Structure 1
């Protein structure tokens, strides 16, 4: 079905005329009303009111919009006059939509009036100016319009490619435009025999148009469903859908394309059922429409060859000669248009587009080449940094191993035996009690007796490994040994040379150093379990404390224990 792809965005719908005074309505409201009435008797009066309002307010931008509205639905000469007026009033316009918009509108106008040569010329100019102004939406519109010409000369795959690209492009197409493009894409899919894809889009269109009560769009999709069934030779299903479309298109619209293709598909469907008289009847009606509107399209060849063969079978020489003559006239027009479009479209559109694509690819390759050298340089630098880091790591690892080995050796040298229950005694204890006079080491606020008592309690705390209990705080320990936090903190700082947190961590890590070296079973446990056994809340706290206390990571310490055990 040869739909007008370049003009998919404006369709006629039948609605009641507004009773409001148009001149008092806003431009936006008038514009919205117009495009919901395009093609019916109300649209022209709305457009005239719009233009009258714009001229009275001397609003150049809106005057231009008025001329655009007025050219729709007019005969070719009158529509061209309105577009010439548009060109005149926008000749000094700063808007980047001009002059491309004028040529694209003229292209659509010529397309609707079957002057494909003029349509192509204007589309090419529109594309040129759209590119100069960098208007990507207009570039898209030009590509879509030219796709309709590719469709005309049978390049349905190229048409489908363009439509598919823009039908899902939310950057340049609004929702209604996307729906129109999907309608045309479904038609192109039928032509290239992608029937499943076509059916999906048709059903989507039918559902959406019913939901939004858009009768025109509904019957367009229903017509495509008829075409879909025709191609699958489901002739009766095609006829059922198309008879509904016939009633709507001939009662509610004057769109010659919809009317012609509905009759065409009905005729072909009846021909498929071998109901030759009915088929010929629909093809007769098409010929009448062609004579009335002079609307010529490629499938007319099928119409006239069928009628010629039909009357040849019936020995009706007079009608046979009549349709031979009609065929020759139509074929000459089609041949002229086809030859021009087939020759000019590749030369003026495909080749420049390929050249642009080649230039884009060349630029892209140049960018990639530059990017390659940048990435290569970064990789080289990162490689050198990696080597530097690697050797630093190896050096650090060597130092870590030496520290770990010294720790293990120290544990082995200071081992004093095992407890009766099999647990290891504490080999690396916290710093011993200092023997200097307590008066020189403590504040005058703490008596000698209190200091001795606190130190004695700390000895018990250490010897019984109570530091392994989870959740120990300065306050909880002070309460346990019956003193206050201030005294306990001062004694630890004075005699242990560190704050409470460091004191507790050192006790735990020293315990870990010894037990891990001597208790194979304990060493086999997972690190989170070991951390919990040592009183830590999590693995990370334990490993950080171990590294801080020993100067070597826990992993290397454990690895060296195993290595030395094997040795």
Structure 2
């Protein structure tokens, strides 16, 4: 027989993704009346999920990383869910290494359970896929989806909600690859399963409508795009999630611009810029909170350890171990941070290799038979012209297009597009955007004046039509915003100067 507390837990679980504000009120009450570690862990997880739904990642981090969530007295399934939740939060904050660490912890715990094992394995698998999609490793995500399709076939047929999530990630992947027919097939299945579900999940619903609106936008169905995005916007406003609102307003602004409705475009573009600033502040606050919590937990553990052995002969050994452990952790963190900074500073060299050393993907191999047959002499001539084009600055021309470049090369657009796709594994727009991003990174690295320029100047200098377009493309290619990249570059230079002074 269920107690009053059990009934409140069930009610809060129903409201987490549909009415997170009400779910927070119930979970707060549960936290206040909790006495056992399991009760605290459940209340903390409900609060963390609710705040994540609202886009308040700072508070979500606080409750997800509470010490009591991983105590031995907490049910193993609750600890599995908590680790997956931590992984999701850290993925959204671009802390990939830490995200994978908690996903691995969840996997270890899953190996110890017998019931609902497939469910937790599927959630871990889905989190891996979402990370690949977020980091634009789309082909790898598709391969992983296909490889594991048989593994979860029976499970998905028995679980409507999980099957819907499966089709949704497929739709996102194909949308990113501009395979719109396949994307529409999966988004239609997603909507079909959404309508068949008895659960109310406004957060997932907003994501699905947002992705559908983006798909219509890319397919140049601007009317349907705006209609679908408006539905997503209404849902996101109910949830008051700034991350969702930012992305939806951005897509609406692009849709209106494509429809030549400049006044409407200006309205939504200004909303996007405002929300983008808010989102960056939230992300930074959440990351700082995470590191503060982890540091505090480590200090608490070490303090407890020292107190336990204060009156014993092994005090000196404990202190020595403590110093060694802390020293190793600091060294590892320092080396990891330096390695990351070096990778950022050396990005230009790495990205150049993308154009010449990209290995064909499985999907590319499968489509080899469908490529245009281009005379070898013609192909080699165009490749030579592309190499000269890379070394020139013509790609900074804002009017640069496939048709314009084909005209300059004295060839047709189909030949040029096919050769770029074949030799660089990119479409024309990605090819040009990478050249532009590489150009501005080179400037930032070699000319100290550039780090003091405004982002809008950098955007114009590198050939982008707008500040927002530059930021979106830069973040998509490099994995961080231009402002964050510049901060890391400045920090790296300061460390180099500091090291030189100490020599």
So what's the TM-score if we normalise by structure 2?
0.51
| Distance apart, 1:238 and its partner CA | 0.9
Q: In structure 2, what is the equivalent of residue 184 of structure 1?
A: 127
State whether residues 312 and 320 of structure 1, in contact with CA within 8 Å, keep that contact through their aligned partners in structure 2.
Answer: yes
Q: In structure 1, what is the equivalent of residue 30 of structure 2?
A: 86
Q: Deviations over 1:244-273 (max 9, x none)?
A: 212332563431232222223323333443
Q: In structure 1, what is the equivalent of residue 155 of structure 2?
A: 208
CA–CA distance in 1 between the matches of 2:228 and 2:249?
A: 12
Q: In structure 1, what is the equivalent of residue 490 of structure 2?
A: none
Specify which of 216, 231, 234 is matched with residue 270 of structure 1.
216
SS of residue matched to 1:204: coil
Map 1:459-474; keep pairs closer than 5 Å: none
SS of residue matched to 2:65: helix
| Distance apart, 1:242 and its partner CA | 0.3
Q: Closer, same or farther in 2 for the Cα pair 1:139/1:251, shift >3 Å?
A: closer
CA–CA distance in 1 between the matches of 2:189 and 2:60?
A: 32
State whether residues 190 and 198 of structure 1, in contact with CA within 8 Å, keep that contact through their aligned partners in structure 2.
Answer: no
| Distance apart, 1:310 and its partner CA | 3.5
Structure 2 residue 178 is the aligned partner of structure 1 residue 233:
yes
CA–CA distance in 2 between the matches of 1:99 and 1:244?
A: 38
State whether residues 31 and 44 of structure 2, in contact with CA within 8 Å, keep that contact through their aligned partners in structure 1.
Answer: no
State whether residues 14 and 200 of structure 2, in contact with CA within 8 Å, keep that contact through their aligned partners in structure 1.
Answer: no
| Distance apart, 1:243 and its partner CA | 1.5
Structure 2 residue 277 is the aligned partner of structure 1 residue 337:
no
Q: Closer, same or farther in 2 for the Cα pair 1:265/1:206, shift >3 Å?
A: farther
Q: Closer, same or farther in 2 for the Cα pair 1:327/1:142, shift >3 Å?
A: same
| Distance apart, 1:239 and its partner CA | 1.0
Q: Deviations over 1:325-352 (max 9, x none)?
A: 4314432442332121122223323785
SS of residue matched to 1:72: helix
SS of residue matched to 1:97: helix
Q: Deviations over 1:516-565 (max 9, x none)?
A: xxxxxxxxxxxxxxxxxxxxxxxxxxxxxxxxxxxxxxxxxxxxxxxxxx
Q: In structure 2, what is the equivalent of residue 246 of structure 1?
A: 191
CA–CA distance in 2 between the matches of 1:202 and 1:267?
A: 27
| Distance apart, 1:66 and its partner CA | 2.7
CA–CA distance in 1 between the matches of 2:48 and 2:63?
A: 5
Question: Can you give the 5+ residue segments of structure 2 that lack an aligned partner in the other structure?
Answer: 306-317, 326-503
Q: Number of residues paired by the alignment?
A: 298
CA–CA distance in 1 between the matches of 2:22 and 2:238?
A: 19
CA–CA distance in 2 between the matches of 1:267 and 1:146?
A: 29
SS of residue matched to 2:237: helix
Q: Closer, same or farther in 2 for the Cα pair 1:225/1:157, shift >3 Å?
A: farther
Q: In structure 1, what is the equivalent of residue 46 of structure 2?
A: 105
CA–CA distance in 1 between the matches of 2:181 and 2:299?
A: 45
Q: Closer, same or farther in 2 for the Cα pair 1:206/1:318, shift >3 Å?
A: farther
CA–CA distance in 2 between the matches of 1:145 and 1:244?
A: 26
Q: In structure 1, what is the equivalent of residue 265 of structure 2?
A: 320
Q: In structure 1, what is the equivalent of residue 425 of structure 2?
A: none
Q: Deviations over 1:196-245 (max 9, x none)?
A: 224334553344211x2x22221111111212222333221011110221
Q: Deviations over 1:14-48 (max 9, x none)?
A: xxxxxxxxxxxxx3xxxxxxxxxxxxxxxxxxxxx
Specify which of 71, 88, 113 is matched with residue 148 of structure 1.
88
Q: Closer, same or farther in 2 for the Cα pair 1:160/1:257, shift >3 Å?
A: farther
Question: Can you give the 5+ residue segments of structure 1 that lack an aligned partner in the other structure?
Answer: 1-26, 28-49, 51-61, 367-567
Specify which of 116, 129, 132 is matched with residue 57 of structure 2.
116
SS of residue matched to 2:94: coil
State the structure with more CA Rg.
Answer: 1
CA–CA distance in 1 between the matches of 2:106 and 2:269?
A: 42
| Distance apart, 1:362 and its partner CA | 5.6
CA–CA distance in 1 between the matches of 2:80 and 2:295?
A: 15
So what's the TM-score if we normalise by structure 1?
0.45
Q: Closer, same or farther in 2 for the Cα pair 1:288/1:257, shift >3 Å?
A: same
Specify which of 112, 116, 132 is matched with residue 171 of structure 1.
112
SS of residue matched to 1:104: helix
Q: Closer, same or farther in 2 for the Cα pair 1:353/1:225, shift >3 Å?
A: farther
| Distance apart, 1:120 and its partner CA | 1.4
State whether residues 202 and 224 of structure 1, in contact with CA within 8 Å, keep that contact through their aligned partners in structure 2.
Answer: no
Q: For CA contacts below 8 A with separation 6 or more, give which structure has more relative contact order.
A: 2
Q: In structure 1, what is the equivalent of residue 228 of structure 2?
A: 282
| Distance apart, 1:277 and its partner CA | 4.0
State whether residues 209 and 228 of structure 2, in contact with CA within 8 Å, keep that contact through their aligned partners in structure 1.
Answer: yes
Q: Closer, same or farther in 2 for the Cα pair 1:171/1:106, shift >3 Å?
A: same
CA–CA distance in 2 between the matches of 1:98 and 1:178?
A: 24
Structure 2 residue 165 is the aligned partner of structure 1 residue 220:
yes
Map 1:168-567; keep pairs closer than 5 Å: 169-171=110-112, 174-175=116-117, 176-192=119-135, 193=137, 194-195=140-141, 196-201=143-148, 204-210=151-157, 212=158, 214-250=159-195, 252=197, 253-297=199-243, 300-349=245-294
SS of residue matched to 2:187: helix
Q: Closer, same or farther in 2 for the Cα pair 1:130/1:158, shift >3 Å?
A: closer
SS of residue matched to 2:242: coil
Q: Closer, same or farther in 2 for the Cα pair 1:284/1:83, shift >3 Å?
A: closer
Q: In structure 1, what is the equivalent of residue 341 of structure 2?
A: none
State whether residues 110 and 116 of structure 1, in contact with CA within 8 Å, keep that contact through their aligned partners in structure 2.
Answer: yes
State whether residues 44 and 69 of structure 2, in contact with CA within 8 Å, keep that contact through their aligned partners in structure 1.
Answer: no
Specify which of 68, 86, 93 is matched with residue 129 of structure 1.
68
Q: Deviations over 1:62-84 (max 9, x none)?
A: 44323322323344454344334
CA–CA distance in 1 between the matches of 2:170 and 2:107?
A: 19
